[in-house]
Amino acid sequence: MKKHTVCRFCSSCCPIIAEVKNGKLISAERKSILDPEKRLSCAKLRAASEIVYSDKRIKTPLIRRTKGGQLEEASWDEALNLIAAKFQQYKEENGPESIAWLRGMAADWGAPWDYANRLMNCFGSPNTIGNGSVCFVAREMAHSYTYGVMAYPEAGLAKCIIVWGKHDGDTALGMAEAISKGHENGAHLVVIDPIATRLAKKADTFLQIKPGHDGLLAMAMIHTIIEEDLYDHDFVQEHTVGFEELAESASRFAPEEVAERIWLDAETIRTVARLYATTKPACIVDGNGLDMQLDIFQSTRAVALLRGLCGNIDQSGGDVLPQPIQLRNIQEQNGASKGVEPITSAYPLFDSFNTTWGRQVQSCVVDAILDKRPYPLKMVVVQAGNPVVTMADSKRTHRAFASVDFLVAIDMFMNRTTRLADVILPASSCFEKTQLNRAAIRNNPIILQDQVIEPIADSWPDWKIVFELGRRLGLTKEFPWQSGEEAIDFQLEPVGTTVSDLRENGNGIRIEDIRYQKFKEQGFDTPSGKFEFFSQKLSDNNFDPVPYLSGYPSEPIGFDAQKEDYPLIGISGARNIRFTNSQYRTIPSLLLEGKGCNVDIHPQDAENMAIDNGDLLNISSPQGTISMQAKISDCVHPGSVRIAWGWGDYDPACNFNTLTDDSVRNPITGTPAMRSFRCRVGKQ
């Protein structure tokens, strides 16, 4: 039997067809816009049955019955009753806000997002926290502060495509296929990346930028476009605010001033700026290369401003504004937690820019546990995340999760975080549950992530765990649903469709035809109703209303002041199609005996330091030291190294985030420098 569903082994959320025989998952295949011979195939999806049936799956609830004791098998009743009792105990002793629910990447999308928020809000704690300060939500905020929502590039229809800090061939195959289609149809492809990636090698123009300095490049492009009078006068005149202030800020960033600081030459910057401004339509595919930087917000905003300056926003083949589906918001943000200060209160603009995402500065969980800032946390539930490996400053994060009074983990596999837990609840994989997947509802069409096999062993779908826990906390009215389908139908009611409609339409249901240039009738969803080069709201909150109006940051990357002792720039990377963040290192066909766990160093730097291929190197930052094998490669620029990320569970000595720092953060989004920072390497 073949069944339509959505894969959730990574955040790309590809629509797929799964093949099931006698109740067993046999294989799965991505749907694609390309002809079969051109389609991209995903290693993780090919390994789907190996992942789902892995003997490393957590099979039953586990409880540590005495502090410091072993984890022991337990029934769901015992585990959930214990968790509910702890919720009540900490509520009585310290207030409901002393409990936080921390969601990782795998819980970021779809139903579990709303359900956990609902549970915590109704219980009285505002502390449901995601990891969006390091993932794309910080970037989404910069888009939203410019034109109201996060735009998506229509690369397949563009004539000029700028891929800026993204590598979809490893991370988002649907977009990679659209880029390849656009390129084949004659689009000029520009790649902006500190690494000569596979895509960079195919590009018509490659800008090997200095890591973490994208804001300077964007401003130099804006400078060129204004100076050479290449901007879209009609759009700027009719639909924007703040052009004068933008021109003032950009006047200080001439390519000739900026080029050397960002390892580029001025003429190439001018050429790319002219190309983007004069080729219509043009889109910018921005990515996680901009995220996890200290300067994430203003650099992404500078990139976003280009879209309006050149009239490419909400145009076919440009960057389109989504038409979100009007789901019922069931988070109960006005529930019992209303008025209780969240632990993320130092980041009020980030907390409030979007009603779906809510709170996203995960570092605040660690601050609250260790430093009792702004108040102590006593209990944390980690759902679908591995913060000890994936958050900045692993040593400090480990200390926090090891010392919190009570830790619950909801996961499919053991990892360095679950191993610290007092209770572990086994979660079902994406093939074992029906969810409304948020990626598939952000824009038309809505596609159901549908269950294709029964839950493995004694695992439960995340929705069931949350509903059952909610009922044990007395929230029976709030969680009346006996199945995922019932809850989804309730959420979908305002849209006018149901789970069974979606099942009948495996390729999804389009609620509304795509419309372009919506701003002409309805303006932009910003305070001024215009495309905001200038943001009054940022100004009112003492942030630069136009990027870098008060100057460029003196230290855009981590530990920049220590460059004497740490002469190299370390780059976090690369994502590989075989893995998702810290996941899947226990899957033999994906692990390939650790292939890819190395540090890329330029031949010139290697020669200067007498380093050979395969040498075991110590990589150090002021935070700590890790070790990895050297791979001599000219994919990196001299003076920088690319360090493999996500290997902390495989081998703690390779744990990237041992090197990163969490004490300096972007003041708006709470983002630490996990992508680029100063380091040094030496032979062991």
For ligand SF4, the binding residues (CB under 6 A) are: 7, 9-10, 12-14, 30, 42, 44-45, 173
Q: Which residues pair with 679 in a beta bridge?
A: 568
Is the CB of residue 50 less than 8 Å from the CB of residue 587?
yes
Nearest to 365 by CA among 201, 129, 602: 129
Angle among Cα 356, 357, 359 to the nearest 5 degrees reads 135
Query: Which residue of this chain has its Cβ atom nearest to Mo ion in the complex?
Result: 135
Dihedral sign (CA 134, 136, 140, 142) = positive
Q: CB under 5 to 8 A by kind: which of ligand SF4, ligand MGD, Mo ion, none does 14 bind?
A: ligand SF4
**CB 439 to ligand SF4: min, Å:** 9
**CB 30 to ligand SF4: min, Å:** 5
**CB 167 to Mo ion: min, Å:** 13
Is the CB of residue 292 less than 8 Å from the CB of residue 675?
yes
For residue 541, count other CB atoms closer than 10 A to its CB: 13
| Residue 210 neighbours by CB under 8 Å, 6+ apart | 194, 261, 262, 263, 264, 569, 637, 640
Nearer to ligand SF4, 11 or 331 (CB): 11
Query: What residues make contact with ligand MGD under the rule CB under 6 A?
Result: 10-12, 104-106, 131, 134-136, 164-168, 170-172, 192-195, 197, 209, 211-212, 214, 287-289, 292, 383-387, 390, 410-413, 415, 427, 429-430, 462, 571-573, 575-577, 579-583, 645, 656-657, 660, 674-676
Nearer to Mo ion, 166 or 602 (CB): 166
According to the binding rule CB under 5 A, does residue 369 interact with Mo ion?
no
Nearer to ligand SF4, 13 or 217 (CB): 13
According to the binding rule CB under 5 A, does residue 176 interact with Mo ion?
no
Alpha carbon distance 578, 414 (integer Å): 19
Q: CB under 5 to 8 A by kind: which of ligand SF4, ligand MGD, Mo ion, none does 287 bind?
A: ligand MGD
DSSP code of 495?
G
Q: Which stretch binds Mo ion (CB under 5 A): 19-27, 32-40, 127-135, 477-485?
A: 127-135
Q: CB under 5 to 8 A by kind: which of ligand SF4, Mo ion, ligand MGD, none does 106 bind?
A: ligand MGD
**CB 94 to ligand MGD: min, Å:** 26
What Rg do the C-alpha atoms of the chain give, in angstroms? 24
Q: CB under 5 to 8 A by kind: which of ligand MGD, ligand SF4, Mo ion, none does 13 bind?
A: ligand SF4
Strands (E) located in 257-302: 282-286
Nearer to Mo ion, 130 or 156 (CB): 130
Q: CB under 5 to 8 A by kind: which of ligand MGD, Mo ion, ligand SF4, none does 208 bind?
A: none
Q: Which of 284-313 are b and which e, b meaning 16 or more Cβ less than 10 Å from the residue's Cβ?
A: bbbbbbbbbbbbbbbbbbbbbbbbbbbbbb
**CB 449 to ligand SF4: min, Å:** 10
Three state DSSP letters for 577-603: CCCCCCCCCCCHHHHHHHCCCEEEECH
Candidates 135, 343, 436, 628; binder of Mo ion (CB under 5 A) is 135
Q: Which stretch binds Mo ion (CB under 5 A): 59-67, 119-127, 134-142, 160-168?
A: 134-142
Nearest to 568 by CA among 623, 618, 640: 640
Nearer to ligand SF4, 14 or 641 (CB): 14
Q: CB under 5 to 8 A by kind: which of Mo ion, ligand MGD, ligand SF4, none does 456 bind?
A: none
**CB 172 to ligand SF4: min, Å:** 7
Is the CB of residue 116 less than 8 Å from the CB of residue 101?
yes
Nearer to ligand MGD, 289 or 311 (CB): 289
Nearer to ligand MGD, 195 or 368 (CB): 195
| Residue 608 neighbours by CB under 8 Å, 6+ apart | none
**CB 169 to ligand MGD: min, Å:** 9
Nearer to ligand MGD, 264 or 668 (CB): 264
Helix (H, G, I), strand (E, B) or coil at 194: coil
**CB 404 to ligand SF4: min, Å:** 31
Q: CB under 5 to 8 A by kind: which of Mo ion, ligand SF4, ligand MGD, none does 173 bind?
A: ligand SF4
**CB 179 to ligand SF4: min, Å:** 14
Nearer to ligand MGD, 189 or 577 (CB): 577
| Residue 166 neighbours by CB under 8 Å, 6+ apart | 172, 175, 285, 286, 287, 288, 289
Which own/partner pairs from 414-419 qualify as long-range (CB within 8 Å, at least 24 positions apart)? 414/56, 414/58, 415/386, 415/388, 415/389, 415/582, 415/649, 416/386, 416/388, 416/389, 416/648, 416/649, 416/652, 417/382, 417/385, 417/386, 417/387, 417/388, 417/389, 418/58, 418/382, 418/386
**What does the binding site for Mo ion look like in residue numbers (CB under 5 A)?**
135
